[in-house]
Amino acid sequence: MIVDLRSDTVTLPTPDMLAAMMRAPLGDDVLGDDPSVHALEERSAHLAGKEAAVFVPSGTMANLIGIMVSTRPGDEVLLHQDAHPFHYEGAGSAVVAGVQLRTLPGPGGVIDPNDLATAVRPPDPHYPHTALLCVEDTHNRGGGTLQPPTNTARLLDVARSNHMSAHLDGARVFNAAIAAGTTVADRARGFDTVSFCFSKALGCPAGSVVCGDQDRMVNARRHRKMLGGAMRQSGMLAGAALYALDHHVDRLADDHRRARQLAVGLTELGLDVPAPPSNIVVVQVPGAGGVASRLEESGVRCFPIGPDRLRLVVHLGITDEMIPTTIDAFRRATAA
């Protein structure tokens, strides 16, 4: 048995999802006539509480477009020091959007509104224009942290009072909504744009959306074309996403339950494992790289995210039976 906990991006389409992809009505989305893409964009915008949406190949492109539609070259974007666009998106914000990313601290990926207010640049030609706030929910490097709604509201108040736009990197926002017992629209309220992925928690082979007002989404479609993200018969991917929205959202509660069970079992081994807020389990263990190698020998795959930290991501492909298997593998790997 292989237990792949490296990421929720390793999920494979279920047979029913593959059937939905084959049934999806197709057109040419570049020409604007793919009915499945139209249906997905309309539904995504509704779920996010926004006017419109644009389907794109990846979360990286969705975030980049979200930044581009609210900034100009030379602007500054404020975000957490562990934010995904800062670490894992190939410096696209700098290379393509021409903006400067300025990072802020905070536990678990949560920015203090006072730090945000202090970081806003004064209107002086020596400084870049502080144009955009980015927030990530759930927060990947924070261990699947949910953004506290009260804190988010305060961050948005600071942004508005300083004439800044706000983008929500909601790659795993469905996890956040299920864990908090709210909706995606609740999590995205007050943000000018929000992106979310279908290829992570929802188990699709590819695809993300960026949502916002009509004017920004007109620009988003132009940027998508410029970036090479306009696909032709992408309704096959949209069909997978529509299936996932119908069948793979409520089941995220199972991923969260299994993540908690895994954390409890690893804690009982004497390991330092914070209680997971959603589907990401972070294990504090000395020599994380060596432990990961020994786990691989036992059929359990995960990523070290530091010299003494492992990340385990529970997803659609993880069953109840795999949790004790993983705990047993850790028992052997950490006893070595």
Q: Answer for the pair 64, 225: CB distance below 8 angstroms, yes or no.
A: no
Mean pLDDT over 266-278 rounds to 97
Q: Say what the pLDDT of residue 336 is.
A: 61
To 10 degrees, what angle do helices 288-297 and 322-335 make? 120
The whole-number pLDDT of residue 263 equals: 98
Q: Strand 52-56 to strand 208-212: parallel, antiparallel, or no bridges (unpaired)?
A: antiparallel
Q: Tally Cβ neighbours within 10 Å of residue 137.
A: 30
- Measuring CA to CA, how many Å separate 141 from each of 145, 256, 327? 9, 17, 22
Say what the pLDDT of residue 1 is. 87
Question: Is the Cβ–Cβ distance between 129 and 99 less than 8 Å?
Answer: no
- Give yes or no for residue 46 having a pLDDT over 70: yes
Give 287's DSSP letter. Answer: S
Q: Are 78 and 130 in contact (CB under 8 A)?
A: yes
Counting every residue written for the chain, the total comes to 336
Identify the helix (H) or strand (E) that includes residue 101.
strand 100-104
Average pLDDT over residues 130-149: 97
Query: Measured in whole angstroms, how far is the alpha carbon of residue 59 from the centre of its chain?
Result: 7
Look up residue 211 and give its amino acid: C
* Domains delineated in the chain: 10-247 (3.40.640.10), 251-335 (3.90.1150.10)
Is the pTM here over 0.85, yes or no? yes
| Inter-residue contact 301 to 322 (CB < 8 Å) | no
pLDDT at 67 over 70: yes
Residue 335 has a pLDDT of 86
How many Cα neighbours within 13 Å face the side chain of 81?
7
